[in-house]
Amino acid sequence: MKKLNLTILFALILLLFSCEDKSKEKKVSEDNLKVSFKSNAPILLEGEELIGIANKIGSPDHLCLQDSFLIIADNKSEHPFHIININKNEYLQSAGVYGKGPGEVLAIFSARLDNKTIWAADFTLGKLIGFDVDSLTSFASISYSPLEEYNIVNSSGSIRQLTYLSDSLFIGINARGNMPYRFLKMDLSGNIVDSIAKTSFETDEKDISIQNQSHYGQFILHPNKNKILVAGYNSDFIEIYNIKGELLKLIKTQDNFNPIYEVNQIGDYLAMGVSKESRYGYTTAAATSDLIYAVYNGTMQEENIWGGHIIHVFDWQGNYIKTFKTDDLILQMIVDDKNEKIYAIVNQDLPTLKVYSIK
């Protein structure tokens, strides 16, 4: 009997230590998930103006890089695309057609490159168009009409920054929908077929639509399509997820601010509005297979200063690497990993294209 009691006591002790270890493991796991960093002294970057594009480009919103061609999507010029040979520092031509017909666009909300196809989403017309890069960059492409075009009206109200994921499937960020998930998957009929990454922000906001709007940001899919990045527009968050939607890392600057906003009622719809305490976080970002480059702003939104001089660099594990500071305010950018350069649209009197060496 005494031996039996000792056995039971020993088992209870083991169970107690086991529970304590699991509790510690859970706490360590949670602590590792959320990190903050202190920026090192920034490395100053002086850019070189590549080409005088001011008279050709109106509102450059998206950049794609394929070999020696930089392709700029623009919503306020004669044609929606501009082609530049970066090796020759030469403006080649504009391409594409504005309109409502087949292969035409009224506004490009996002333009994402995948395997020599630029997928452009026009939510005003509710369609997704695939532009072949080789055709766009040929000298006969000014009125080039793409062969791939899909009606996506069904999902136009919720999904943004559509990015090619796999055969007949695209992924994007949930912009304002009432589904409590960060990311949505869409088929080529415009139907939402899956949702991942349960929304779980530390917020008192009860309305899911407002949560999605306030935590909206730059969405980037890793080139290997195994991780997702979100750089928050209204907070200093950098979120890294795996492709299953599991949060791997939440990175915050020492400013440590959450979205602050007002809620406006527009008919039956709730919209996030700017308050006196609203701040900009990361205004744009780009990534390579190894590194994340995120442009940080940090100013009050009422000041109406979009873009930033500060670029925070992380790896895809969420480790802070370094900080750059540019001579001009960066509006949009893309990173040439092979040649270690950043191509950026900067804010001068008129949109200007600059290249920065990051060797």
Task: Round to whole Å and give the CA distance between 51 and 46.
Answer: 16
* The two structure tokens encoding residue 35: 């990190």
Do residues 328 and 354 make contact, with C-beta atoms less than 8 angstroms apart?
Answer: yes
- pLDDT of 251 above 60: yes
Tens digits of residue pLDDT in 80-135:
999 999 988 888 888 888 999 988 999 999 999 999 999 999 999 999 999 999 88
Tell me the pLDDT band of 7, cut-offs 50, 70 and 90: low
- pLDDT of 322 above 50: yes
Do residues 129 and 145 make contact, with C-beta atoms less than 8 angstroms apart?
Answer: no
Q: What integer pLDDT is reported at residue 54 of this predicted model?
A: 64
AA identity, residue 343: Y
Task: Round to whole Å and give the CA distance between 143 and 104.
Answer: 10
Q: What integer pLDDT is reported at residue 349 of this predicted model?
A: 78
Q: What integer pLDDT is reported at residue 337 of this predicted model?
A: 94
Choice between 313 and 266, residue whose per-residue pLDDT is larger = 313
SS (H, E, C) the chain: CHHHHHHHHHHHHHHHHHHHHHHHHHHHHHHHHEEECCCCCCEEECCEEEECCCCCCCCEEEEEEECCEEEEEECCCCCCEEEEECCCCEEEEEECCECCCCCCECCCCEEEEECCEEEEEECCCCEEEEEEHHHHCCCCCCCCCCCEEEECHHHCCCEEEEEEEECCEEEEEECCCCCCEEEEEEECCCCEEEEEEECCCCCCCCCHHHHHHHCCEEEEECCCCCEEEEEECCCCEEEEEECCCCEEEEEECCCCCCCCCEEEEECCEEEEECCCCCECCEEEEEECCCEEEEEECCCEHHHCCCCEEEEEEEECCCCEEEEEEEEEEEEEEEEECCCCEEEEEEECCCEEEEEEECC
Do residues 172 and 160 make contact, with C-beta atoms less than 8 angstroms apart?
Answer: yes
Tens digits of residue pLDDT in 308-321:
999 999 999 999 99
Do residues 63 and 342 make contact, with C-beta atoms less than 8 angstroms apart?
Answer: no
Q: What integer pLDDT is reported at residue 76 of this predicted model?
A: 86
Choice between 271 and 325, residue whose per-residue pLDDT is larger = 325
Give the closest residue to 195 by CA, choosing from 149, 167, 158, 224: 158
* The two structure tokens encoding residue 65: 């890089």
- pLDDT of 4 above 60: no
Tens digits of residue pLDDT in 15-67:
444 454 444 333 334 445 778 888 899 999 999 998 767 677 888 889 999 99
Q: What integer pLDDT is reported at residue 220 of this predicted model?
A: 98
* pTM for this model (two decimals): 0.88
Q: What integer pLDDT is reported at residue 23 of this predicted model?
A: 40
Tell me the pLDDT band of 145, cut-offs 50, 70 and 90: low
Q: What integer pLDDT is reported at residue 110 of this predicted model?
A: 94
Instruction: Tell me what percent of the residues of the chain surpass a pLDDT of 90.
Output: 61
Instruction: Determine the average pLDDT of the residues in 2-24.
Output: 47
Give the closest residue to 222 by CA, choosing from 276, 267, 262, 164: 164
Q: Which residues contact 266 (CB under 8 A, 6 or more apart)?
A: none
Q: What integer pLDDT is reported at residue 142 of this predicted model?
A: 59
Q: What integer pLDDT is reported at residue 200 of this predicted model?
A: 76
With tokens 């869409």, the residue in question is 186
Write down the mean pLDDT value for the chain: 86
Q: What integer pLDDT is reported at residue 139 of this predicted model?
A: 63
Tens digits of residue pLDDT in 187-235:
999 999 999 999 877 777 778 888 889 999 999 999 999 999 999 999 9
Q: What integer pLDDT is reported at residue 70 of this predicted model?
A: 95
Task: Round to whole Å and give the CA distance between 304 and 278.
Answer: 11
